[in-house]
């Protein structure tokens, strides 16, 4: 039977190898992913919207310093935090995005407000933060985002030491199908360690790192953003479904495992279609991910071979 609702989430992709993660840390990741996906699932189960579910999941992960979004975000080359996020409603194709935020505790909440309470799709920097103030969305001092691990990663990058993938980047995201047949996608990130001041990645670019359309799918991406922008990853997956009639799995694999690989773009996506099918391909060693389909078990995975 076709599930009425389902959700998938990610916490970043990259060269995540079992040999590089301590068992306690791996357990913390798995627990955080399980809790987040179950939170989203519970919202869908009680008849909540896919938009509410993906926003709640992303806020939870933004608040967790394990992940590169909100608290725990990476530093740019000036030693500053600049946060990007986007949300999209597959029922109406409305979207809201924010970029280069320095003080917004939960960027995804502001992205939702841009979608619902402004005439615009993308607000950045000071203008976005002024809008946050107007809407009563929580602003915090920059020190809130500081974590020692991210600071050390920046120092290593500046000394041209090689960083582990986890130190370089990461992102959080969620896609969901609700009981009304509506799809939604949300993505939030600190971007990439040592990025240039003012650099914006794929996450807040609608069609690149985030996309949702009830007629095809909802997608949230993670990986080296410049490549995801150039390959227009999220929209390309939807377009392959719409115009070439590929299945969700085929379309997502075509873009992540072939098109992106050809360009040299490392990363992955989570994607869901209106039948509740989920695809989570990645061309890196690992991707923090989890999913839960109506009536099914909570699936949590990090490495390649986990099915
Ligand atoms: N895609 C993000 C960016 O380029 C980073 C990541 O997902 O790892 O900003």
Give the start-to-end residue ranges of the domains of the chain: 6-303
Closest CA to 174 of 32, 37, 14: 37
pLDDT of residue 254: 98
d(CA 111, CA 262): 32
Asked if 244 and 223 touch (Cβ cutoff 8 Å), the reply is no
Give catalytic status of residue 171 as yes or no: yes
pLDDT at 166 over 70: no
d(CA 138, CA 144): 12
Task: Give 223 Cα–ligand 1 centroid separation in angstroms.
Answer: 5
Question: What is the tens place of the pLDDT at every residue in 81-119?
Answer: 999 999 999 999 999 999 999 999 999 999 999 999 999
Q: What share of the chain is helix, strand, coil (3-state, %, to 5)?
A: 35, 25, 40
How sure is the predictor about 215, in pLDDT bands with cuts at 50, 70 and 90? very high
Residue 245 has, within 13 A of its CA and on its CB side, a CA count of: 0
Question: What is the tens place of the pLDDT at every residue in 243-269?
Answer: 999 999 999 999 999 999 999 999 999
Closest CA to 86 of 64, 65, 71, 101: 101
Q: Which of 14, 68, 97, 169 has most ligand 1 atoms within 8 Å of its beta carbon, as the pocket-test mutant?
A: 169
For residues 289-307, average pLDDT: 95
Residue 111 has, within 13 A of its CA and on its CB side, a CA count of: 36
Task: Give 221 Cα–ligand 1 centroid separation in angstroms.
Answer: 8
Which of ligand 1's atoms lies nearest the C-alpha of 209?
Answer: 1
pTM of the predicted structure, to 2 decimals: 0.96
For residues 287-304, average pLDDT: 97
Is 300 strand, coil or helix?
A: strand
Question: What is the tens place of the pLDDT at every residue in 10-21?
Answer: 999 987 888 888
d(CA 67, CA 290): 14
Q: Are strands 286-293 and 299-303 parallel, antiparallel or unpaired?
A: antiparallel
Render 163-222 in DSSP notation, one character per residue.
PPHHHH---EEEEEE-TTS-EEEEEEE---TTPPTT---STTSBTTTEEE-TTSEEEEEE
Q: Please identify which of the residues 60, 92, 171, 187 carries the catalytic annotation.
A: 171
pLDDT at 241 over 70: yes
Q: Which residues share a beta bridge with 173?
A: 10, 187
Q: Which of 86, 267, 282, 288 has most ligand 1 atoms within 8 Å of its beta carbon, as the pocket-test mutant?
A: 267
pLDDT at 271 over 90: yes
Q: Indicate the average pLDDT of the chain.
A: 95
Asked if 101 and 110 touch (Cβ cutoff 8 Å), the reply is yes
pLDDT of residue 19: 83
Buried b (16+ CB within 10 A) or exposed e, 151-182: eebbebbeeeeebebbbbbbbbbbbbbbbeeb
Which of ligand 1's atoms lies nearest the C-alpha of 190?
Answer: 9
Asked if 70 and 106 touch (Cβ cutoff 8 Å), the reply is yes
Name the more confident of 15 and 289: 289
d(CA 19, CA 75): 25
Closest CA to 233 of 213, 261, 212, 252: 252
Asked if 228 and 267 touch (Cβ cutoff 8 Å), the reply is yes
Interhelix angle 107-117/50-62, rounded to 10 degrees, is: 150
How sure is the predictor about 63, in pLDDT bands with cuts at 50, 70 and 90? very high
Distance of CA 292 to the CA centre of its chain: 17
pLDDT of residue 167: 67
CATH 2.60.40.10 fits 6-303, yes or no: no
Task: Give 203 Cα–ligand 1 centroid separation in angstroms.
Answer: 7
Q: Which of 76, 173, 225 has most ligand 1 atoms within 8 Å of its beta carbon, as the pocket-test mutant?
A: 225
d(CA 245, CA 55): 29
């Amino acid at each position: 039977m076709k599930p009425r609702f389902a959700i998938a989430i990610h916490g970043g992709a990259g060269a995540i190898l079992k040999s590089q993660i301590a068992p306690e840390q791996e357990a913390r990741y798995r627990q955080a992913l399980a809790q987040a996906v179950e939170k989203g699932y519970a919202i869908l189960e009680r008849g909540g919207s896919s938009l509410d579910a993906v926003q709640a999941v992303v806020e939870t992960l933004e608040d967790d310093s394990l992940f590169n979004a909100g608290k725990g975000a990476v530093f740019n080359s000036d030693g500053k935090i600049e946060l990007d996020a986007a949300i999209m409603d597959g029922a109406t194709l409305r979207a809201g995005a924010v970029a280069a935020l320095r003080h917004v505790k939960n960027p995804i909440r502001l992205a939702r407000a841009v979608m619902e309470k402004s005439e615009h799709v993308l607000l950045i920097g000071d203008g976005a933060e002024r809008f946050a103030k107007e809407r009563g969305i929580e602003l915090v001092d920059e020190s809130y985002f500081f974590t020692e691990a991210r600071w050390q990663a920046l120092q290593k990058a500046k000394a041209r030491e090689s960083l582990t993938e986890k130190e370089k980047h990461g992102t959080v995201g969620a896609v969901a199908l609700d009981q009304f047949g509506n799809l939604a996608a949300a993505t939030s990130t600190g971007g990439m360690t040592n990025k240039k001041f003012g650099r914006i990645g794929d996450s807040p670019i609608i069609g690149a790192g985030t996309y949702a359309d009830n007629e095809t799918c909802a997608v949230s991406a993670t990986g080296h953003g410049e490549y995801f922008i150039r390959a227009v990853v999220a929209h390309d997956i939807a377009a392959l479904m719409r115009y070439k009639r590929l299945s969700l799995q085929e379309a997502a694999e075509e873009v992540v495992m072939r098109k992106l690989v050809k360009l040299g773009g490392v990363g992955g996506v989570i994607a869901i279609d209106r039948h509740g099918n989920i695809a989570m391909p990645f061309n890196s060693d690992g991707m923090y991910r989890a999913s839960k389909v109506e009536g099914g078990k909570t699936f949590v995975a990090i490495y390649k071979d986990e099915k």
